[in-house]
Structure 1
Amino acid sequence: MSWAGSFQTSIGKSRTPSNHAEAAVVFDPSMATLLCLSHLRWSFVYQRPQHLMSRFAGTYNVLFFEEPIGTDETEPWLEVRPDEQGVQVLVPRLPAGLNAQASTAAIRALLDDYLGKLEVEDLLLWYYTPMSLAFSDHLQPRVTIYDCMDELSAFHGAPPELVERERELLARADLVFTGGYSIWEAKRELHDNAHAFPSSVDIAHFASARQPQSDPPDQASIGLPRLGFYGVIDERFDIELLRAVAAMRPDWQFVMIGPVVKIDPADLPRLDNIHYLGGKTYDELPGYLAGWDVALMPFALNASTRYISPTKTPEYLAGGRPVVSTPINDVVRSYGDCGLVLIAGTPEEFVAACEQALALAADRDAMLAAADRILGDMSWDQTQASMKEMIECIR
């Protein structure tokens, strides 16, 4: 480009969701544009994509492109939502009734129109889902990154063509990042530039849970001791384990925070000592964590959890809480012998581990010192900086 500096431009076929006015987009042509193609929505649960993209927004123009949503209108349009962290969230809005081929063509046209009006030349592509290749395989980025958080093909409802799409993406990718060591061991056999970046943590954010504070209103009336979980409640969550443990210890209170996805809420155990408080924002989580005695990770052991590396493990520790987890590979590998993350498989083992965790919580000073030793300098800032260095080496 022959010009530099920041400018604002209106993007055709793109509208803000509130009033359908033309969206004013702040764009710095002196910086590269990082287009992140995600199966997760920016406003759903604050996790790895949000942590990384909000940090990349300091040096790149970051566009976060979500999966399409239906609209009652007759023409496709692109919803543009400027995020407060500098990320532009883009959501294709498609008329109902379009078949797969027409939907792909519409999304491709909306994306091309948007990038064209921004006059993007220095493009980086960051994939969270290989399915996005259907509408982006014609783009010519300087660098293609595949950040493989999970083995998506193992999740309920995964498209049958996902495995083949991933093979194609691995052939195109310059860099492959993985969300843990187990999945890295699988992907390194398929790509010679794969790097493990396990879950990191914003220590300062969750450390606020170590300070005495008032309970949120919907938690204040729940008795003690409290054992809590936050996260998405889906096929990865061991419903029967929770049911059994809660029945074995009716004097314990189990606080479950998070949206219920892809499973029937009617299947959740409804004992008097299990409390479902719904989804909470990222900013609210430390306030709930502060009121717990023990933090839980009751994950099922199935295909969808074989490769996970839960972000909540270091978050719980940063918040000053001992953790009880089922034997997830990456949890055992990274935290199994640290003394504050206790591993249990059966309901009986889980109850015994929770009793041990409650005893650990009683010696608060020793527990906090141990948590700090485990966390060390682990941070999303460090993870993002290492990723950026690898990207820039290729650019």
Structure 2
Amino acid sequence: MKHVSLISALAVAGSLTFVTPATGPAAAAADDNAPIGGTLLAGRGVVVDPAAKRLPKTEASAFVVADADTGEVLAAKNPHGRFLPASTLKALTALTLIPKLDKKKMIKPSQDACNVEGSAVGLTPHKIYTVEDLFRALMMVSGNDAAVALAEANGGLAKTLADMNTEAKRLQALDTVAKTPNGLDKPGQSSSAYDLALIGRAGLADPAFRKYVGTKVANFPAPKGDHYQIANHNRLLGRYPGMIGVKNGWTSKALGSFVGAAKRDGHTIIVTVMRHEGSFWPEVQDLLDWGFAARGKTTPVGTLVGPAPTPTPTPPAAPPKAAPAVSKPADAAGGSPVTGPAGVTVLAVAALGGLAWLGYGMRRRRARRD
């Protein structure tokens, strides 16, 4: 009775939603108006299976814990709430541009790219960087300058932002709007804990993406043929068992955000947090631990959906076929034309020939008069 009372009180308060047979993912699938991932992901409170182990505390305004292998969302808080993504948006930048750019291509950044504010790898306007170097700088040290240089290599900021937003729609990350390639705050830019999980999961399926986010230390080109070392900003990489990546972010307006994944015993768990006022690293570890303990043992509260199906182009309608020419023998009375091998009417040719001969004769007569 105490357990029932507690559930009722939390439900009335709107802070916690539990999975029941009437509200589980199967029921959500039947609701055409449900948000991406399922009906239970529509609210702002915490949603979790009541049979699951108690969730660890987190100060994040939104979070998602999901099984990357199955796509099952194991627990969430305000998963579709739209927030400034800060540098976690760079995961979308990398996912969008990796297939488009040759990793060995040499890049000369513009002065504008080199002067971008915030975290930077320290680019100079020299043609000493490969695309691969810039992706390392983007995902390891959160180089805002590297993000702009990559956008320039892709044809410019406008084209790159259009490509990023197209990729977000393809992934069904519909809470995400990219206004910059580096995540620096800009009006209208947004993402959600759910979308970051979609983007992170898609990134992990790309071997190049996975390599960039999982590199701990790398050499980075400097002028005059020198190099210097850069180190990954992900504090859990190499410290948390099985940590893969992906990306952390922070600005004074967005506060702390994170999308990351770890793998243990052949299974991968994704955790995302958004708008965290303090240090989220210990809480991310606790959420990952909880996810590994909960996977396969709790009823999921939603699903990380797959990419939207590519529409099949409709083939153009075939033009109407011309009626075939029919050859007929000349009528005894001379009323039926005969069609030649090239579709030319023999009577017309004969008539034209006669006119030509008549014209020739008239010219001869005129010549004689002159």
Q: Please, what TM-score do these two structures have when normalized by structure 2?
A: 0.27
Larger Rg: 2
Q: Please, what TM-score do these two structures have when normalized by structure 1?
A: 0.26
Larger RCO of the pair (alpha carbons < 8 Å, separation 6+): 2
